[in-house]
Chain A
């Protein structure tokens, strides 16, 4: 078990390295010139050249890559070209909103999606099932920002129940925190919920059609409810897998949701940084998101052993 965990962790290192190389080379090739942006409107070309030099943007590719990697290994993500703040500090400032948004979204969508999926499987073939499935298909056919603006329009502007934008730290109380975060979490969660409801339904049906369940049924074991509880436990592995894979959609959606609701999180930091070609920030954030994604899926892999004792490596 322990050696399996170690092996899995070691196996993620090359992946992360590839990501790092890819992210770095991508932005090295980018045509935007941060020096010109920094120099501003009134700058002369000579000013721009001086700034470029002072930022070290004129050094060759590999020198910059290894320099960058070496510093990252020491925990230094570099300094933002625009704010002159350490990237790690900027990321730190923005982790709380993004983390809160993701946790709340996960919580909301899982607590809706799994019952939805189970009920759909239970009422397989009825209008309930079809309603759930239609909701799910709508869920991932509508762009996050459309849902976001619709929700904001009705619940914030028309009904005036909730704030339009912003973020309140949970340290200021649970209620203000939820008030700000509920709309973005619902907007973001819809896709995720759709995904998980579908997989839950599908795996439930799959498990229910398997031989041992049929046998149990034939023997008249227990009630339908207990049967479903068993089935759900067996369906856990695929569901958790999708939770892990769907995490990418969650990260991508957070980028857009944070822009719509003006949440000062990592997603907005990314968009701002990309539009402004703030290389160190883009590199830091994309690397971070990718590492988190890799870690989440590593965690999912390790969870398998908990959910399904039959899996042994």
Chain B
């Protein structure tokens, strides 16, 4: 942490003249770390989680769904690193495989919500006739609290990872849509865009050349935060019993199953909770860092 705090102080006092000349041998990488410690910490943690998820089968895990009722609720030991759950499944293996679901849901929702939100936001921003309708519908969707909306959507369909992703994306994308529309509306008034429109440049070209590049920074930041909140929402849905199918080891499911035993076997809930919190924390840090790096002005507003 000491590296972080020294860099933090360095960061925090930009108005001071830089009395300490940067040693020339300090590489670009170290510079980056010093300027954006949160990106580095968050990014590293996310990368580790991704590696864990991808290489789960190689990390001394067993079949995470194999039952063994005869050796249920074993405490953590050499044999079962994180213990076993109420059906005798190995919690360590389940938690490692669980990273796959959380990350998949987080990244997919972020991507899906960004794509849908951007598309609709662009359409709304450029087409006045559509704008009113789309934005009223977005207002309507946004006035249903996201978790409530996601629960209601999950009650509609069969539990599956795909449906969880769709439900959370629907709950999240209106915020992207509003953001993108806002950017479009403010950019449209810029002289160079007006000039482009007046000179008959086609709308797709304007979007490609002027709008998208300016949307990208806030969009990336927003997508990161959506990713974090989607992972929490997935866990919450599973916890309530309206999320990922229980046969799939996701962190939310492991916690939901373990909660009946939290007084006697707290480790069943504890390990997935730690992994989930660290991952969400990492993604949030990454988002904070990106925001600071990409758009200092936005950083202050959010």
Contacts and interface: CB of A to CB of B under 8 A. Distances in A.
Chief secondary structure at chain A's binding surface? helix
Contact of B269 (A27, A149, A203, A290): A149
A200 B284 CA distance: 18
Contacts of B146: 248, 252
B273 A143 contact: yes
B140 A153 contact: no
Contacts of A104: none
B145 A18 contact: no
Given A256-B240, A259-B240, A15 B285 contact: no
A270 B241 CA distance: 13
B293 interface: no
Given A22-B140, A289-B145, A143 B12 contact: no
A32 to B, nearest CB: 7
Range for the number of chain B residues in contact with chain A: 35 or more
A48 interface: no
Contact of B240 (A126, A206, A255): A255
A31 B153 CA distance: 11
Interface stretch (B22-30, B215-223, B228-236): B228-236
Given A145-B255, A274-B242, A18 B136 contact: yes
Contact of A290 (B143, B235, B241): B143
A141 interface: yes
Contacts of B145: 248-249, 251-252, 289-290, 293
B156 A31 contact: yes
Interface string B239-253: 111100000000000
Contacts of B5: 127, 130
B57 to A, nearest CB: 27
A101 to B, nearest CB: 15
B31 interface: no
A124 interface: yes
Interface in A246-267: 248-249, 251-253, 255-256, 259
Contacts of A294: 143
A157 interface: yes
Nearest to A260: B259
A185 interface: no
Contact of A205 (B151, B242, B277, B300): B300
B261 to A, nearest CB: 11
Given A137-B281, A137-B284, A206-B301, A274 B155 contact: yes
B13 interface: yes
11 contacts: A16-B140, A19-B140, A19-B144, A23-B144, A137-B288, A138-B277, A142-B273, A146-B276, A149-B269, A255-B151, A286-B152
- Chain A to chain B: the 6 pairs with minimum beta-carbon distance, closest first: A125-B12, A18-B140, A252-B147, A141-B281, A141-B280, A248-B145
Interface of B: 4-5, 8-9, 11-13, 136-137, 139-148, 151-153, 155-158, 228, 232, 235-236, 239-242, 255, 259, 262-263, 266, 269, 273, 276-277, 280-281, 284-285, 288, 299-302
